[in-house]
Amino acid sequence: MKANKLRELSGPELEQKLNSARNRLFQLRFKNTSGQLKNPLEIRLLRREIARIKTILVERELSGKKEV
């Protein structure tokens, strides 16, 4: 998902997406280790999505602190 679409989501929605992405990453890593994963590129893409979500959460946290 693109960063622009992620910025439109609320904080709890982003947290939920982050948790589901982390769970999915765990499953993909497990499948990769056992040799069942057909496309290992999915792991990289998911890691990048997690990084995008975490970046947006930190941006919101920092912008909230600067306003005070």
pTM reported for the whole predicted model: 0.88
Which DSSP state fits 35? T
Q: What is the CATH number of the domain that holds 43?
A: 1.10.287.310
Judging by beta carbons within 10 Å of its beta carbon (0-12, 13-18, 19+), is residue 5 exposed, middle or buried?
exposed
3-state secondary structure 14-26: HHHHHHHHHHHHH
What's residue 66's pLDDT? 63
What's residue 1's pLDDT? 80
Q: Per-residue pLDDT tens for 16-67?
A: 999 999 999 999 999 999 999 999 999 999 999 999 999 999 999 999 876 5
Q: How many domains does the chain have?
A: 1
Nearest to 58 by CA among 13, 11, 5: 11
Residue 68, pLDDT > 60, answer no
Which residues form the domain of 32? 3-67
Q: CA 25 to CA 33: how far, in whole Å?
A: 12
